[in-house]
Amino acid sequence: MPDLYCIKHDIGLFFISNLNTKLMERRMMNIQQFTKDYLAGLKDVLDRFDYDGFEKTVKLILDAYDNEKHIFVMGNGGSGSTASHFACDINKGCCIDLDKKFKMLCLNDNVPTMLALSNDISYESVFVEQMKNFFNPGDLVIGISGSGNSENVLQAIQYAKNNNARTIGFSGYSGGKLAAMVDVSIVAKVDDMQKVEDVHMIIVHIIMQAVYKTLNTDQKSSKTIC
């Protein structure tokens, strides 16, 4: 005769296993729907892409290259990683095969310097104080701020404006203060920080390829850009 305890134990495991499977299926269905909704929202933002602002941005970057000007870029958090990625793509990806090089500096890459400035002066000054070491009139300064209101970015942009630089701002939501300050503003018009940052990174990659193809006209179009 079967052991009663074993039967109860097996039945319990069976129900728990089925319950876990159903919970997992429900969870996965929710994740799939969430993903579809997220991508649909992102597509909606991209469908309202600012082509005029983008073209002006690319032209300013090419002007800085032609005139051997510095390009400064900066951001906080996710925008900081976008800024760092941006400098890498331009400095390496766009001119690796060219004798003439870009002079693009990401102001959030030097952590010790940022910590020193934050500790001794203020976090609001971490970008503008670094920029002063290399800045020349006519340089290009690019500020990235999802909210458009990051004070350290705004201070650097204000310094650039006061000293005859060209300025570009990447922001989100309604653009914040940054959009009103810069020569060229690109705003990812969505109230969702992650989608704002998604759009900014896509813009960086389109800029990189547009600049590369403009400067490398003698390269085969099938060559991999990296």
Summarize pLDDT for 93-130 with one digit per residue, the tens: 999 999 999 999 999 999 999 999 999 999 999 999 99
Q: Clarify whether residues 58 and 149 are in a common domain.
A: yes
pTM of the model: 0.86
> For the chain, how many structural domains are there in total?
2
Q: Clarify whether residues 114 and 211 are in a common domain.
A: yes
Q: Clarify whether residues 55 and 43 are in a common domain.
A: no
- CA–CA gap between residue 14 and residue 26 (Å, rounded): 18
Specify the pLDDT at position 217: 84
Q: Clarify whether residues 104 and 12 are in a common domain.
A: no
Specify the pLDDT at position 175: 97
Specify the pLDDT at position 15: 55
Q: Clarify whether residues 7 and 83 are in a common domain.
A: no
Q: Clarify whether residues 42 and 126 are in a common domain.
A: no
Q: Is residue 14 part of a domain?
A: yes
Q: Clarify whether residues 118 and 193 are in a common domain.
A: yes
Specify the pLDDT at position 150: 98
Q: Which residues contact 165 (CB under 8 A, 6 or more apart)?
A: 135, 137, 138, 139, 140, 141
Is 168 within 8 Å of 184 (Cβ atoms)? yes
Q: Clarify whether residues 84 and 165 are in a common domain.
A: yes
Specify the pLDDT at position 147: 97
Q: Clarify whether residues 66 and 43 are in a common domain.
A: no
The segments of the chain whose pLDDT lies below 70 read 1-19, 23-24, 27-29, 219-226
Specify the pLDDT at position 2: 54
Residue from 62, 87, 212, 69 nearest 144 by CA: 87
Q: Is residue 223 part of a domain?
A: no
Q: Clarify whether residues 7 and 57 are in a common domain.
A: no
Q: Is residue 222 part of a domain?
A: no
Percent of the chain scored above 70 by pLDDT? 85
Range of the domain at 39: 1-47
Q: Is residue 163 part of a domain?
A: yes
Q: Is residue 220 part of a domain?
A: no
Q: Clarify whether residues 68 and 7 are in a common domain.
A: no
Specify the pLDDT at position 21: 72
Q: Is residue 221 part of a domain?
A: no
